[in-house]
Chain A
Amino acid sequence: MHIHIPDGVLPFNFWATWFALLALALFLVLPRLHRNPKKVVTAAAITAVLLVVFSVEFFGYHLNLTALAGILLGPWFSLLALFTTNVFLALFGHGGVTIIGLNVLINWLEATIGFFLFHHLPFHHSVRAGLVTFIALVVSFFFFLAVLAFSGIDPTLALEERPTTGPVDLAIFAAITSPIIFLSALLEAIVVSLVVSYIHRVRPELIHHDFKDL
């Protein structure tokens, strides 16, 4: 899930908090990545595919493939991959710069769920891939709703310079957005399932991790 909120809509406290959390996550994760230069190169190539796929529309919808990034890269490298993807997209005007912090952390949640569930669920690999993608996208959507609910941010109030805390009508927001989210999660789950099935046929070692290599 990629949130398209332009710059200047969200209040400073909100986006700065997510930037601080992102900085903390990168500070903790980056030293682990430096030790594996070969995987840095591989992860950069996979990140490029995420960007390439993002730039091509399939059926009028662009895929995110964040859960697949988690499956292929593991939780630590996927943070760097998703940070890079979001920075590139924001600089191209595809969403705001101020939303990078929240977008990266939501995407990282999807990738982490994708990775852990994929390696722990008992089903066939292609069913597992589809299922974990769907779960990851739905969980990240509810996480986003929870963020809105706990922060009490209403972008409209923030723009009017009125207090931005208070009840946000999440029911209406969820009612409008959830059908779109569920449909896109379903489409993405099917595509990821088919992609994983293809990769498994051609290079099965790519989706079966050596956990020491994370």
Chain B
Amino acid sequence: MTSKIYKIDFNAHNGTSFLHRCSPWAKVVLFLVLLGAAISSRSLGELSVLFAFTVFLWLAAGLSPWDFITWLRYPAAFSLVFALSQLSIPALAIQTIGRGITAASASLLLLNTTSYLDIFSLLGVVSSTISNFMFLTYRFFFLLVVSLDTRVAVLRLRGGRGLRHLGSFANVIGLTFIESIEKAERIYSILKVRGYRGKLSHFSRLSFGLPEISVLLLTAMAALLRLMA
């Protein structure tokens, strides 16, 4: 999952497509419409059209088709568990998988075209505490993931596998917790020097131009596809 998060972050920050240039609010609207359409769809045809639409947007955003297939493995596997219990009605089983992967592809499309900072700043409209907290968590994640990965790799290279080395794994996790708290104390001191009183400022782009109009038209198209089916 770690490499996936790195890749998503890279895609969101380095993409140049019209979806990447568009304001985050328009993409969140698109995501919500696609999610709503996927979970409320009642036929295979409808789901196929919605999924094809998401794939089209993914490719139009210049994102890798291989990543799309790879990242949909998890939602497909989770949906499969439910689909297996519905094998008596094969169409229903396929619909369950279709709903799961279409909804997941909508969220992957949002994450790969919008930086987390922009998504969190939109959440700030609801609660600045939640938005600040998510932003800090995201920063800490990248600071800590490398050290845990390295420690786990070192442990495995030294033969630390299996239940016999459970204690060593637990120590690695404990050390990562302590490291995180020490980093937090240091970062808090730095933030305090800069005037931090529990609120970080970030302004999301709230522009309304050609990219936003195109995304809203695409959103309307997705809604129409759902309504007409």
Contact = CB atoms under 8 A, between A and B. Distances in A.
Interface of A: 4-9, 26, 30, 33-34, 37-38, 40-49, 51-56, 58-59, 63, 65, 72, 80, 83-84, 87-88, 90-98, 155-156, 159-161, 190-191, 193-199, 202-203, 206
B177 A195 contact: yes
A84 B180 contact: no
B10 interface: no
Nearest to A55: B1
Closest 3 CB pairs of A and B: A8-B99, A6-B100, A194-B170
B166 A40 contact: no
A59 B137 CA distance: 26
Contacts of B99: 6-9
Contacts of B35: 7, 97
B220 interface: no
Contact of B71 (A59, A93, A156): A93
Contacts of B141: 48, 51-52
Contacts of A95: 78
A59 B169 CA distance: 10
B216 interface: no
Contact of B181 (A6, A159, A195, A203): A203
Contacts of B103: 6-8, 96-97
A44 B134 CA distance: 7
Interface string B145-169: 1001100100000000011001101
Which of B132, B169, B177: most chain A Cβ within 10 A? B177
A159 B176 contact: no
A38 B191 CA distance: 10
B187 A159 contact: no
A154 to B, nearest CB: 10
Interface string B55-84: 000000000000000011011001101100
Interface stretch (B15-23, B85-93, B201-209, B221-229): B85-93
Nearest to B93: A159
Given A6-B103, A92-B4, A206-B181, A59 B162 contact: yes
Nearest to B47: A8
B62 to A, nearest CB: 20
30 contacts: A5-B82, A6-B75, A8-B100, A9-B99, A26-B130, A41-B188, A44-B133, A44-B184, A45-B136, A45-B140, A47-B140, A49-B148, A49-B177, A52-B176, A72-B177, A83-B130, A84-B134, A88-B137, A91-B107, A92-B5, A92-B107, A92-B111, A93-B72, A190-B166, A191-B169, A194-B170, A195-B177, A197-B174, A198-B170, A199-B174
B75 A93 contact: yes
Contacts of A202: 174-175, 178
Interface in B92-137: 92, 95-96, 99-100, 103-104, 107-108, 110-111, 127, 129-130, 132-134, 136-137
A37 B127 contact: no
B173 interface: yes
Interface in B31-53: 35, 38-39, 41-42
Contacts of A37: 188, 196-198
B163 A59 contact: yes
B218 interface: no
A197 to B, nearest CB: 8
A52 B104 CA distance: 21
B219 to A, nearest CB: 17
B137 A195 contact: no
B100 A96 contact: yes
